[in-house]
Structure 1
Amino acid sequence: MIEIKTLQSYYTEDKVLMTQHSSERCRQRGIKIKDIRHAIMDGEIIEQYPDDYPFPSCLIFGYSVDNKIIHVVMSDEGTGSRIITAYFPDPEKWESDYKTRKETLK
């Protein structure tokens, strides 16, 4: 189970990488590095993905510097982390708290 304090310490210790893909996606979405940092340092983990490959990851709920709700997906690689993606959650897919996924009909 990934702990938010662990991810925060990676960030403080400059042990977080951002892939070219995640950088490009964030640029397209208007999300800045300072928004991601703010979300991680003040956020909470709302979903765990222990079976993600090659490393477990999690979904963090937080706020951008201008107080918009943001989701950040990060890995825990044991000695550091990677930003997988960040996005502004879609109200069609999330309950009003933006922490609970809406049920999908199949």
Structure 2
Amino acid sequence: MRLIYRQHAIKRMFERSITPNDIVEALSNGRKIEEYPNDTPYPSYLWLGFSGSRPIHVVIADNWEDDERIIITVYEPNTAQWADKFTKRLKQP
């Protein structure tokens, strides 16, 4: 699949010092941890992967018809918001 980066993702990558290589590495070794089936125009999901030892969350939507994987946003998960090795959201007060 061809990777397509939304403008929002590019901005966040720049702000957070996450490179395209970091994304590719995280996609190659991670897994889906949440699904958002009602997102449009394509259902999306949250992926947890690692670039080296750095955890990275990637929100992705797959456009199977055009063989595209759309990168919507990326960030390094915060331990104050995530548990179970960044796979489970902590409830916010």
Q: Same fold (TM over 0.5)?
A: yes
| Corresponding residue pairs, total | 91
Query: What is residue 80 of structure 1 aligned with on the other side?
Result: 68
In the superposition, the TM-score normalised over structure 1's length comes to 0.80
- Give the CA deviation at 1:20: 2.2
Question: 1:5-27 deviations in whole A, cap 9, x for unaligned?
Answer: xxxxx1xxxx1101222111101
- Identity rate of aligned residues, in percent? 35
Name the residue aligned to 1:4. none
TM-score by length of 2: 0.90
Q: How does 1:1-106 map to 2 (within 5 A)?
A: 10=1, 15-64=2-51, 66-78=52-64, 79-105=67-93
**2: CA distance, partners of 1:70 / 1:24:** 15
- Aligned mates of 1:99, 1:60 — CA distance in 2: 9
- 5+ residue gaps, structure 2, are none
Q: Which amino acid aligns with 1:47?
A: E
> How far apart, in 1, do the equivalents of 2:7 and 2:62 lie?
18
Greater strand fraction, Structure 1 or Structure 2: 2
Distance 1:98 1:17 in 2: 25
* Structure 1 residue runs of 4 or more that deviate by more than 2 Å after TM superposition: none
RMSD, matched Cα: 1.2
SS at match of 1:76: strand
* Structure 1: runs of 5+ lacking an equivalent: 1-9
TM-superposition CA deviations, 1:52-80 (whole Å, max 9, x none)? 1111111111101x321111111011231
